[in-house]
Chain A
Amino acid sequence: MDEQTRAYRDPMSRVAMRQLLWLGALGAAGLIVLMVALAWASSITGGGSGAGRATDFDTKTITLVLVQEPPQLDSTRATDQVSILILGHIMEGLIRYDASNRLVPGVAERWDIRSDGATFWLREDARWSDGRPVTAHDFAFAWRTIVDPANASEYAFILYYLKNAEAINAGKMSPEALGVRAVSDRVLEVEFERPVGFFDKLVAFAVYFPVREDFYLSRNGRYGTDAEDLVYNGPFMMTRWVHGAHVRLEKNPNYWNRDTVQLNVIDMPYVTSDTTAIVNLFKDGSVVSATLGAEQLDDAMKLRWNIGRYSDGSVFYIDFNFRPERITSNLHLRRALQYVNDSSELVNKVIALPGYQPAVSLFPAWLTGVEGPFRQEYPPPVVTPDLATARQHLELAKRDLGVAEIPPLVLLTGDAPIANKQAEYVQNLFARALGIEIRIDKQIFKQRLDKMTSGDFDMVAAGWGPDFADPLTYGDLYASWNGNNRGKYNNPALDAQVRIAQNSLDPRTRMDAFGEIQRILIEDAVHLPNYERGLVYVQDPRLKGVVHRAVGTDPDYSQAYLVENP
């Protein structure tokens, strides 16, 4: 049959081939026409523009990748990292951080912080991008808007240090009653609810940025939604915002400190969270920096890149559920797990990223105490991994709970790769060392939050990044009234210390309180510290002057500059 068909079909095949080739050529031509038409169409509808190279010395431009689309840029409602990063470049608050991370004057020339309040004197030449002066009224309006419950700001709690702020936010008083007043265009008076000695550090946070009332109202509720819905008083202005695709910042000619700003354009024409794609863009010379994951380190060394690292200030740990019906509320069980937990092995062998440090306490290493580093002045109690002690505690726990074997525990975690590694490592560790079965409950963001709030977990992998540069941003996490205390840990002794830290003005008293909190957290095995996060990155050697911080705008390009030949 084959013989027959072959001979039979040969003239057929030749013809068919020709026809197919014809069709193929026609199709290819059609395809090209289609592509050109589509490209033309997308440029008509204002799609993204072609991006340039990583740096351009002549136009003083750098190109970056945005990891995520900022939901909106209203400083009174911003909550996520990317928004705060951009806001830090386009707006400025009363006080800001300089390249050495010291607090220096921003819009305010000088200030005076007392036990009952503070006064800020604003500079004459602070201007918005449309030329109008930045006034004390802009700050008063912004802060009132934040605590106004109708605005539903999630960061309103950070203003609770101001008089009446909490009451206003609960709907009990009107926003006018907030303890802030624009005495004149240049003078801002603040009244405290209770003494807060570190108010200068608070005021540097993005939530405290100014918002101009007339502009805000003129946008009809769309303030911060698009580039034209914003007016800028910071080193840069946003000149282009194509959602999900492109953000472009250009130097603000009306910024009072414009002489220190050496870049003209920060262009961000790529929005993706895929780290491999970002590194590929860097390799291609399209962007000026990229964060490295553990898998890309070898490649980075082979390509002989300049690798830098910085700690991003956050701490990660495993929280327990202290609700009475949960096994993890038993101290001995927690101590057993604590004596097995080896954050060194986790960081050094499993995560294997240079930036990460094993965590030994809730308070990370970068915090300052009275004069020097907090952890040097108040060393945390050391818990060395010790299998024998752990097993002893395990026996005690079993006796307390009246069980022969500890039932399986649920570890709630997210879907980030490092969180996965951490969870699987912990699962294996506890099984191997103590014979305790850990079930990993991997949830995506909203579901995880839901379970955390409702207490549907035994342990949860959690972390906390600082909002301001004072230990209190970590210290009050386990206070019984704190909504972020998802495990519902309740210890009156710790609560008392938190109150001391909140209300006292004396630095030594406050730091002593934090030291005490640290001790309680470790001795009561309130959580298992895992690691302090740091990032390893590569950067184009032609770019210099980029500042990294644990708190505040990070990375900060406002003082960065380009060199032609590195």
Chain B
Amino acid sequence: MLTYTLKRLLQGIVTVWFIATATFVAMHAVPGDPLANERATTEQIRRNLEQRYGLDRPVSEQYVVYLEGMLRGDFGISFTQENRRVNDIIRENFPVSATLGILAVTYAALGGILFGALTALFRNRLPDLVIMFLVILGISVPSFVVAALSQLALVDMNAFLGFSLLPVAGWGTLRHMIVPSMVLGLGTMAYLARLMRSSMLEITNSDFIRTARAKGLPPARIFLKHQLRNAILPVVTVLGPAIAAITTGGFVVELVFAIPGLGRSFVEAVQQLDYTVIMGTTVFYGGFLVSMVIVVDLLYGWIDPRVRLE
């Protein structure tokens, strides 16, 4: 187990390096001048700006400088938010996105597993149809519509109650976290529910379950130890990337609910061609994703002992 983990960590570092390089190349290949602004600048000012951000050096040199910084853990200074270090930006925004993401994933996982299992149990009967209908709705309505509608619902609810039970936007207290994370997790919950359902259905019809029943094992044990445990595997596989995706993909939710998260910073950085923020966030995201994948793979091995970790 230990050697496996170490090996994976090493591979993870190499992967992150690849990610950084690919992003660097892509970024510099995209047209657009990160220093351009609405008001044109003179030659001298442009040169000074380039010097300040190190853009006057050849691209290969910039790459080396950047890698060196990365090894030291320094992602440089943001182009658009001048004087702010990318490390600071990530440090301030990531916990917010992480909180949102963790809650969203927890909602999604719990809801997905429970609802998926329910529908598999009551296959083709009423609960199945109802839940499946909701699931379809959940995935066919785009996230910005859900976010906008839920905010509207909050406003109406507060108006109806006469006081502000849940805040309509913003971040900072427990009450601020509830609705945005639900909205964020909705799509993934629907997906996980479906996955769980199909997985459960297959397991239920499989031979070893029939054998277990035939053997006369108590139904409780069959369900928990065999059906659920095996059916969860695809869900666990998906969960790793899902966590990472949710954490930086919360752009729409962060915009609508005025949440200062990394998703929003990242999209704005791409639009502004803020090189350092793009690189820093991507590398950070990459590292986070790789770690999540490692955790999930280890978890996989624990849940299903047949999967020997080589």
A contacts B directly (C-beta below 8 A): yes
Those of A398-453 within 8 Å (CB) of chain B: 444-447, 449-450, 453
Residues in A whose Cβ lies below 8 Å from that of B43: 170
**Does A243 sit at the interface, judged by CB under 8 A?**
yes
Please state if A286 and B167 are interface contacts (CB–CB under 8 Å).
yes
Residues in A whose Cβ lies below 8 Å from that of B42: 156-157, 169-170, 483
A270-B258 CB under 8 A given contacts A36-B174, A152-B48:
yes
Those of B50-106 within 8 Å (CB) of chain A: 52, 80-84, 88-89, 92-93, 95-96, 99, 102-103, 106
Please state if B81 and A447 are interface contacts (CB–CB under 8 Å).
no
Tell me, in angstroms, the Cα distance from A380 to B37 when the chains sit together.
31
**Does B170 sit at the interface, judged by CB under 8 A?**
yes
Tell me, in angstroms, the Cα distance from A151 to B273 when the chains sit together.
21
Please state if A243 and B89 are interface contacts (CB–CB under 8 Å).
yes
Please state if A281 and B169 are interface contacts (CB–CB under 8 Å).
yes
Shortest CB distance A276–B (Å): 6
Tell me, in angstroms, the Cα distance from A65 to B255 when the chains sit together.
13
**Does A539 sit at the interface, judged by CB under 8 A?**
no
Residues in B whose Cβ lies below 8 Å from that of A222: 83
Please state if A48 and B260 are interface contacts (CB–CB under 8 Å).
yes
Residues in B whose Cβ lies below 8 Å from that of A170: 42-44
**Does A285 sit at the interface, judged by CB under 8 A?**
yes
How many interface residues does B have (CB within 8 Å)? 77
Total A-B Cβ pairs within 8 A: 226
Those of A49-80 within 8 Å (CB) of chain B: 49-51, 53, 65, 69, 71-72, 74, 77, 79
Shortest CB distance B34–A (Å): 7
**Does A186 sit at the interface, judged by CB under 8 A?**
no
**Does B38 sit at the interface, judged by CB under 8 A?**
yes
Tell me, in angstroms, the Cα distance from A483 to B40 when the chains sit together.
5
Please state if B44 and A280 are interface contacts (CB–CB under 8 Å).
no
Residues in A whose Cβ lies below 8 Å from that of B148: 276
Please state if A31 and B110 are interface contacts (CB–CB under 8 Å).
yes
A34-B103 CB under 8 A given contacts A170-B44, A276-B256, A446-B272:
yes
Please state if A79 and B99 are interface contacts (CB–CB under 8 Å).
no
Please state if B169 and A27 are interface contacts (CB–CB under 8 Å).
no
Those of A270-285 within 8 Å (CB) of chain B: 270-274, 276-277, 280-281, 283-285
Of chain B, the residue at the smallest CB distance from A153 is B45
Those of A149-163 within 8 Å (CB) of chain B: 149-157
Please state if B38 and A72 are interface contacts (CB–CB under 8 Å).
no
Shortest CB distance A178–B (Å): 15
A35-B177 CB under 8 A given contacts A154-B41, A284-B164:
yes
Please state if B110 and A245 are interface contacts (CB–CB under 8 Å).
no
Those of B233-254 within 8 Å (CB) of chain A: none
Shortest CB distance B114–A (Å): 5
Stretch at the interface among A15-23, A190-198, A315-323: A15-23
**Does A509 sit at the interface, judged by CB under 8 A?**
no
Please state if B255 and A277 are interface contacts (CB–CB under 8 Å).
yes
Those of A117-168 within 8 Å (CB) of chain B: 149-157
Please state if B32 and A450 are interface contacts (CB–CB under 8 Å).
yes
Please state if B48 and A150 are interface contacts (CB–CB under 8 Å).
yes
Please state if B31 and A48 are interface contacts (CB–CB under 8 Å).
no
Please state if B172 and A48 are interface contacts (CB–CB under 8 Å).
yes
Residues in A whose Cβ lies below 8 Å from that of B110: 24, 27-28, 31
Of chain B, the residue at the smallest CB distance from A464 is B38
Residues in B whose Cβ lies below 8 Å from that of A273: 255
Please state if B158 and A453 are interface contacts (CB–CB under 8 Å).
no
Those of B203-253 within 8 Å (CB) of chain A: 213, 219-220, 222-224
Those of A315-353 within 8 Å (CB) of chain B: none
A72-B151 CB under 8 A given contacts A39-B173, A270-B169, A284-B168:
no
Of chain B, the residue at the smallest CB distance from A229 is B83
**Does A372 sit at the interface, judged by CB under 8 A?**
no
A453-B117 CB under 8 A given contacts A19-B224, A48-B172:
no
Chain A to chain B: the 7 pairs with minimum beta-carbon distance, closest first: A483-B40, A48-B172, A244-B260, A272-B258, A245-B260, A39-B174, A446-B32
Task: Please name 5 pairs of A and B residues whose Cβ atoms are closer than 8 Å in the assembled complex, sorted by A.
Answer: A47-B172, A48-B260, A155-B39, A156-B45, A286-B164
Given contacts A155-B39, A280-B154, 6 further A-B contacts (CB under 8 A): A39-B177, A51-B170, A149-B47, A242-B260, A281-B258, A450-B31
